[in-house]
């Protein structure tokens, strides 16, 4: 049986944005917390997949600077999102899945407004575009629960695709099957969390990988 719905992470998975985000985040962390920029970038990447404010709360618990720094980061992102586009490879794969009758969703912890701008501005057709509302509606269980309700499907028929270990953890905690895209993180970074996880190097491998998982060849 093939999956009925595929959830795609946005940044680093279908949009080549992680490099520019990591550089800006490192600048802010270095400036406001006194951490060397190279280490700051590593800290950002290791906690990626979460809203930036949540990342800062993990990295610098109860620090009074967190909200200010997160706000600066989001304001900066608001100025550059119009330059970000969904990769051509991702557009091709999403189109291929939809032609097979598979529903597609973008599930991101970027702000809802920014996710919509990037996806709609890229001209790619997806069934659901979900971002972070600044509160509790975010990637993981909230998005999965919402998609179950609006699609009428079970999460057992979902597959999530992401490029970070945090994406994998969110999928596992939500009871959703996961496929890892090896880009910013290595295969071993994912296998150390789940030795059975499927890892691909390119989104073009996704359709065959999905049908292999589900036994639909």
Give me the CATH topology for the region 5-16+85-214. Rossmann fold (3.40.50)
pLDDT above 50 (res 215): no
For 89, residues 6+ apart whose C-beta sits below 8 A from its C-beta are 202, 203, 204
pLDDT digits (tens, 9 = 90+) for 43-93: 999 999 889 999 999 999 999 999 999 999 999 999 999 899 999 999 999
Confidence of residue 184 (pLDDT cuts 50, 70, 90): confident
pTM above 0.85, yes or no: yes
Mean pLDDT of 86-102: 94
Residue 15 bridge partners (DSSP): 11
User: Residue 6 is inside which H or E element, if any?
Assistant: strand 5-8
Cα torsion for 108, 110, 113, 114, to the nearest 10°? -100
Extended beta strands in 20-93, E state: none
pLDDT above 80 (res 217): no
Residue 1's pLDDT is what? 45
Domain positions in the chain: 5-16+85-214, 18-82
pLDDT digits (tens, 9 = 90+) for 112-157: 999 999 999 999 999 999 999 989 999 999 999 999 999 999 999 9
Q: Distance (Å, rounded) from C-alpha 142 to C-alpha 124?
A: 24
Q: Distance (Å, rounded) from C-alpha 65 to C-alpha 119?
A: 31
For 96, residues 6+ apart whose C-beta sits below 8 A from its C-beta are 207
Per the structure block, which two tokens stand in for 183? 């880009």
Print the SS3 string covering 105-122.
EEEEEEEHHHHHHHHHHC
Q: Are 108 and 11 in contact (CB under 8 A)?
A: yes
Please state, as a whole number, how many other Cβ atoms lie within 10 Å of the Cβ of residue 112: 16
């Amino acid at each position: 049986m093939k999956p009925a719905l595929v959830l795609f992470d946005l940044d680093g998975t279908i949009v080549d944005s992680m490099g520019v985000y990591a550089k800006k985040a490192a600048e802010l962390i270095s400036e406001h917390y006194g951490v060397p920029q190279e280490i700051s970038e590593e800290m950002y990447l290791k906690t990626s997949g979460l809203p930036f404010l949540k990342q800062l709360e993990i990295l610098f618990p109860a620090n009074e600077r967190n909200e200010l720094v997160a706000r600066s980061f989001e304001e900066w992102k608001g100025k550059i999102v119009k330059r970000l586009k969904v990769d051509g490879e991702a557009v091709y794969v999403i189109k291929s899945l939809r032609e097979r009758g598979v529903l597609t969703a973008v599930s991101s912890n970027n702000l809802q407004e920014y996710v919509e701008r990037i996806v709609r501005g890229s001209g790619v057709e997806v069934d659901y575009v979900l971002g972070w509302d600044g509160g509790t509606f975010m990637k993981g269980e909230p998005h999965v629960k919402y998609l179950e309700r609006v699609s009428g499907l079970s999460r057992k028929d979902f597959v999530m695709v992401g490029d970070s270990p945090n994406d994998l953890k969110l999928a596992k905690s939500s009871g959703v099957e996961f496929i890892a895209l090896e880009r910013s993180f290595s295969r071993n970074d994912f296998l150390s969390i789940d030795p059975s996880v499927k890892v691909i190097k390119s989104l073009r491998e996704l359709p065959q990988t999905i049908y292999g998982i589900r036994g639909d060849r």
